[in-house]
């Protein structure tokens, strides 16, 4: 008996969206390869999809085993009022997750998170543990500066690099997601190591 490789985080994140569109349509290429075990080992020795052997698949994203990026830009989005299809949302999220949107911006890494309202708006069942945060004592939150259906965290070497990646991400989301709020941040200068 051969053990199957563990699924990629992207597959787990997009599984509810993929399941909703699988009837009569094909699942994403990566998900199909993962389910059949059709993976290849690239030059770095890590496993990647057989369709993209030219780019090594990192074992961790930058900032995990390397120095933390100096800048962050958090972007919250809501589903477009035009009510795009599950397939449209899945395409945008897959683009963001695979870093296609920010690849031309060196050193910027995107991290994507879904809010529970996205699943409800798409008519899908959210994973049981994906719930809205409860109110905390002394909160004085403004609804327009919180929440969102999709959150993207962009970490990079400069605020300008994060802004360039944000512009590319926004262009890919046109007609599917609309901006809700954004919050930049940075780490103060610190010694290396």
User: Is residue 53 predicted with pLDDT exceeding 90?
Assistant: no
For 108-164, what is each residue's pLDDT tens digit?
888 888 998 999 999 999 898 988 888 899 998 888 888 899 999 999 999 999 999
Residue whose C-alpha is closest to residue 46's, from 13, 10, 8, 83: 8
Domain extents in the chain: 69-126+145-186
How many residues are given for the chain?
193
Helical packing angle, 86-97 and 9-21, nearest 10°: 160
Distance CA 155, CA 178 (A): 21
Which helix (H) or strand (E) segment is 160 a member of? helix 159-173
With H, G, I as helix, E, B as strand and everything else as coil, classify residue 25: coil
Task: Tell me the β-bridge partners of 153.
Answer: 74, 111
User: Is residue 49 predicted with pLDDT exceeding 70?
Assistant: no
Q: Which CATH entry fits the domain spanning 69-126+145-186: 3.40.50.1260, 3.40.50.300, 3.30.70.1030, 3.30.2180.10?
A: 3.30.70.1030
Query: Which one has a higher pLDDT value, 88 or 93?
Result: 88
- The answer to whether 156 and 162 have CB atoms below 8 angstroms apart is yes
User: Is residue 103 predicted with pLDDT exceeding 80?
Assistant: no
Query: Which one has a higher pLDDT value, 76 or 100?
Result: 76
User: Is residue 46 predicted with pLDDT exceeding 50?
Assistant: no
């Amino acid at each position: 008996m051969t053990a199957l490789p563990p699924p990629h985080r992207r597959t787990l994140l997009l599984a509810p969206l993929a399941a909703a569109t699988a009837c009569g349509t094909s699942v994403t290429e990566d998900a199909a390869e993962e389910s059949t075990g059709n993976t290849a080992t690239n030059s770095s020795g890590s496993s990647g999809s057989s369709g993209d052997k030219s780019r090594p698949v990192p074992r961790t994203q930058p900032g995990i085993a390397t120095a933390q990026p100096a800048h962050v830009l958090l972007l919250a989005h809501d589903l477009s009022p035009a009510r795009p299809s599950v397939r449209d949302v899945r395409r945008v999220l897959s683009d963001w997750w695979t870093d296609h949107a920010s690849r031309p911006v060196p050193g910027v890494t995107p991290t994507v998170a879904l809010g529970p309202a996205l699943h409800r708006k798409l008519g899908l069942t959210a994973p049981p543990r994906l719930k809205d945060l409860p109110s905390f004592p002394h909160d004085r939150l403004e609804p327009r500066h919180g929440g969102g259906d999709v959150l993207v965290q962009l970490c990079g070497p400069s605020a300008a690099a994060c802004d360039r990646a944000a512009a590319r991400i926004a262009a890919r989301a046109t007609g599917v997601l609309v901006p809700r709020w954004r919050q930049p941040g940075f780490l103060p200068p610190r010694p290396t190591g």
